[in-house]
Amino acid sequence: MSTHRLGARLHIQSAMKRFGEQDVLRGIDLTIPAGQFVAIVGRSGCGKSTLLRLIAGLEPPSGGELTLDGETIGGHHADTRMLFQDARLLPWRKAVDNVQVGLRTRSRERALDALSQVGLADKANEWPGVLSGGQRQRVALARALAGQPRLLLLDEPLGALDALTRIEMQQLIERLWQEQGFTAVLVTHDVSEAVALADRVILIENGRISLDVNITLDRPRERDGGFVHFEKLILDRILERDSSEAPRGKKLSYSI
Window 38 to 67, contacts with other proteins (CB under 8 A): 56, 58
Is 160 a binding residue for other proteins by CB under 8 A? The answer is: no
| Least distance (Å) between residue 154 CB and other proteins | 13
Window 197 to 256, contacts with other proteins (CB under 8 A): none
Cα separation, 29 vs 43, whole angstroms: 19
8 A C-beta contact, residue 129 and residue 110: no
Cα separation, 192 vs 166, whole angstroms: 12
Cα separation, 46 vs 64, whole angstroms: 18
| Least distance (Å) between residue 178 CB and other proteins | 24
Candidates 9-17, 77-85, 201-209, 245-253: pick the segment binding other proteins (CB under 8 A).
77-85
| Least distance (Å) between residue 196 CB and other proteins | 26
| Least distance (Å) between residue 180 CB and other proteins | 18
Smaller CB separation from other proteins, 97 or 168: 97
Window 98 to 137, contacts with other proteins (CB under 8 A): 101-102, 104, 127-130
- Count interface residues toward other proteins (CB under 8 A): 23
Torsion of CA 55, 33, 173, 208, to 10 degrees: -50
**CA 115 to chain CA centroid, nearest Å:** 20
Smaller CB separation from other proteins, 24 or 82: 82
Is 84 a binding residue for other proteins by CB under 8 A? The answer is: yes
E strands, 118-223, in order: 151-155, 183-187, 200-205, 208-214
Residues 6+ apart with CB under 8 A from 161: 133, 134, 137, 169
Type of residue at 252:
L
Is 76 a binding residue for other proteins by CB under 8 A? The answer is: yes
8 A C-beta contact, residue 28 and residue 209: yes
Binding residues for other proteins (CB under 8 A): 56, 58, 76, 78, 80-82, 84, 86, 88, 90-94, 101-102, 104, 127-130, 143
